[in-house]
Amino acid sequence: MKPWILYLLFSLFFSGFLLQAETVLIFTRNSLNPERQAVAELQSAVEDGVMETFFDAGHIVFNAGLVADNDNLDVPSERLSLRLAKSGGALYLLEIDLEYFEVEENVAVRGAEYRLYNVLSGAELTSGTLSPDDMSVESDTPHATVCSSMGAAIAGGAISRLRL
């Protein structure tokens, strides 16, 4: 075998070890039924903002989809979100609780509470809360866009904690 082919194969094999990325599971809970179309769309907007920010920072991120219930057990290892993160191979778990309010037929996000966990230890690394009023957007900005900005802000807070 020619030496340059051996070098090429060796380089390709070991280059994968240089491309390490941390994996994050996004687990979102909703105060309203997530199977409602308006709730699912707003959850998706928040998660899109989170995912885009994590992707841009070089992380691998995936979500749990629409989950109707997540038991709020005191022991993190027994929570559904942590079990899903472990089974999915995530290093970190970002839990987001979305609180909604309804005006006639319309649904809007009142606020979001988030927590970032180390999946292996179950330790909470950071937490915070946000509301649409915390976003610097124009008053006529569509609510889905505001939710996407909230997701980006949540991810920014989580990523800043990962870089410490």
What are the pLDDT digits (tens) for 36-76?
888 889 999 999 999 999 999 999 999 887 766 544 444 44
With a pLDDT cut of 90, the percent of the chain lying above it is: 38
Question: What is the pLDDT, as a whole number, of residue 59?
Answer: 92
Q: Which of the four pLDDT bands, split at 50, 70 and 90, describes residue 99?
A: very high
Other C-beta atoms closer than 10 Å to the C-beta of 144 total 17
Q: State phi, psi for 72 to the nearest 5 degrees.
A: -90, 70
Q: How far is CA 2 from CA 6, 7, 9, 12, 14, in A?
A: 7, 9, 11, 16, 19
Q: Per CATH, the architecture of 21-162 is what?
A: 3-Layer(aba) Sandwich (3.40)
Domain boundaries, the chain: 21-162
- Model confidence over 121-163: pLDDT tens digits? 989 999 999 988 888 878 778 888 889 999 999 999 999 887 6
- Model confidence over 28-43: pLDDT tens digits? 988 888 888 888 899 9
Question: What is the pLDDT, as a whole number, of residue 1?
Answer: 55
Residue with tokens 């970032």: 116
